[in-house]
Chain A
Amino acid sequence: MLQLNGLTKVYNTGDKALSDVTLSIPDGQVVALIGPSGAGKSTLIRCVNRLVEPTSGEALLDDINITTLGSGGLRKARRKMGMIFQEYALVERLTVMENVLSGRLGYVGFWRSLFRKFPQKDVDEAYRLLDRVGLLAMVDKRADELSGGQRQRVGIARALIQNPSLLLVDEPTASLDPKTSRQIMRLIVELCEERGLSAIINIHDVALAQMFVQRVIGLETGKVVFDGAPTELTPEVLTQIYGEEDWEATIEKVDDDAEEAV
């Protein structure tokens, strides 16, 4: 379970990216975080694993206070949080296998990782995950040879091999075409279900979010302005989050093609 208490981030420039965010996410819940660009979505999930240092407040994962951990403790805590990135953030010149295995770096020593001598059970798990995301044939391809959707699948495998209890997902579909976006979202949600993971998914596409998640949190200038089920997202709520716009089309689109099989 993830618990955020009064999490606040003020950047050196004086921009207040997060102000006093308090929320809790029980185990196994998948949450979509929506909001306009600059609302603090990325900052929020980066404050959880402290890629960005929060200014005040605390984040607790399974009752461990992440915000006060020292560097060793923080590395241990990060192992429990898999992160998936917008631009995939694979190390492009490494092979698919190395990218997936890099998810185990927190568990193996420096010299083993330097010589790529990962334990056999990690290698097996990598094979299983690559099979699950449909990339078993690509094991020794270099990451920059893959298409966008394939790279994001590798990114997912890298996050899952950490054996996390929480997934932090930053705009997983922003660089993908609509069809691939759905496939990726479906994959993430399915995997969370299989493994009982909770997840925070930053997402621009409201319709896509409604299609897949159980709970939506709306962020606006660093504050939580909505927290509820996807069905409660009315035009009024969206106007509050994003500003004035014709929202009917966005919401309705969901029901039309929700069942497109992949």
Chain B
Amino acid sequence: MSVALEAKLGQAWKKPHFIKNPAWRWALILGSIAYFAAAWSGIDINFGRIARGWERGWQFISAFGDPDFTSRWDDIYKGIYESVVMTIASTVVGIAISIPIALGAARNIAPLPVYLVCRAVIAVSRALNEIIVAIILVAILGFGPLAGFITLSFATIGFLAKLLAEDIENMSKSQAEAIKSTGASWTQWINFGVQPQVMPRLIGLSMYRLDINFRESAVLGLVGAGGIGGTLNTAFSRYEFDTVAAILLIIIVTVMFLEYLSGIIRARIQ
């Protein structure tokens, strides 16, 4: 029996802690508990109100058993149509703008000044919630789908350009170098060395963004930026839960359809 073994026998074994320094560990644990407790205590729950509201909640849930598509069909149709239109237009425009920005935001392609500018655009687009952008745009442009369209295009840039830029930065260097070594020009290099590597991902991300844009377009109407959200808001304020249920079902089914479609398209590309 070795000396090292003898020293260990009879010793209790404990799993090494994730954070080795005990002071830090306890500070973190106690700090988190204190924060959660404080955060929870700041939330007042009015049980009387919930008890009264529960009946309404039940009405809402049961409305899904009997959704009303017909009585507000004109409004629903117009809203959905507008949402779809906004989704398509903004996704196309968003992608078109994202591609050059993504190229500019990839450190292995772009020079530093271009890189910084493009990254700044992405950061601003990601930091601002769609709803907030829509509020500002409605204030500037007035009510209507144009504000929603610009909002979604802008949001698409932050999403798509960031992920695409990361993909370009992670691409295989050797393939791109092989093209460069043939004496290709910059545009040829992008076309033959970079584009084939990132194309499947670009298409996958675009489909995913189409899906997100549709979901977002459903709420922009709440602040007057067009789409089904306006209809939804009206239905909520009139407590017409059966119409609400109909609208939500349409949204859910559309999202499911889009996901299914994007699954097929992604499978075919790869």
A-side residues, CB < 8 A to B, are 95, 97-98, 116, 118, 120, 123-124, 126-128, 131, 136-137, 139-140
Contacts and interface: CB of A to CB of B under 8 A. Distances in A.
Interface stretch (B1-9, B104-112, B205-213, B228-236): B1-9
B14 A116 contact: yes
Contact of B2 (A120, A126, A136, A140): A136
B6 to A, nearest CB: 9
Contacts of B14: 116
A124 B4 contact: no
A174 to B, nearest CB: 30
A131 B4 contact: yes
Interface string B6-19: 00111111111000
Contacts of B15: 95, 97-98, 116
Contacts of A128: 5, 9
Interface residues of B: mostly helix, strand, loop or mixed?
loop
Contact of B8 (A116, A118, A136): A136
Contact of A95 (B4, B5, B11, B16): B16
Given A128-B5, A139-B8, A139-B13, 9 more contacts: A97-B13, A97-B15, A116-B15, A124-B10, A127-B8, A131-B5, A136-B2, A136-B4, A136-B8
Nearest to A125: B9
B16 A140 contact: yes
Contacts of B10: 120, 124
Contacts of A118: 13
Contacts of A127: 5, 8-9, 11
A88 B211 CA distance: 42
23 contacts: A95-B16, A97-B13, A98-B15, A116-B14, A116-B15, A120-B12, A123-B11, A123-B12, A123-B13, A124-B10, A127-B5, A127-B9, A127-B11, A128-B5, A128-B9, A131-B1, A131-B2, A131-B5, A136-B2, A137-B4, A139-B8, A139-B13, A140-B16
A123 B9 CA distance: 8
Contacts of A140: 16
Contacts of B1: 131
Q: Which of B13, B15, B16 gathers the greatest number of chain A CB atoms within 10 Å?
A: B13
Shortest beta-carbon contacts, A-B, top 5: A131-B5, A123-B13, A127-B8, A140-B16, A116-B15
A98 B13 CA distance: 10
Q: Which of A118, A120, A137: most chain B Cβ within 10 A?
A: A120
A74 to B, nearest CB: 29
B232 to A, nearest CB: 45
Nearest to B8: A127
Nearest to B16: A140
Contacts of A131: 1-2, 4-5
A116 B8 CA distance: 18
Contacts of B2: 131, 136
A97 B13 CA distance: 9
B152 to A, nearest CB: 40
Contacts of B5: 127-128, 131, 136
Nearest to B9: A124
A17 to B, nearest CB: 30
A139 B8 CA distance: 11
A219 B60 CA distance: 65
B210 to A, nearest CB: 36
Nearest to B15: A116
A104 to B, nearest CB: 12
Contacts of A120: 10, 12
A190 to B, nearest CB: 17
Contacts of B13: 97, 118, 123, 126, 139
A242 to B, nearest CB: 37
Contacts of A95: 15-16
A187 to B, nearest CB: 17
A127 B4 CA distance: 10
Residue among B8, B11, B16 having the largest count of chain A Cβ atoms under 10 Å: B8
Contacts of A137: 4
A123 B15 CA distance: 12
A145 to B, nearest CB: 13
B3 to A, nearest CB: 10
Nearest to A94: B15
Nearest to A115: B15
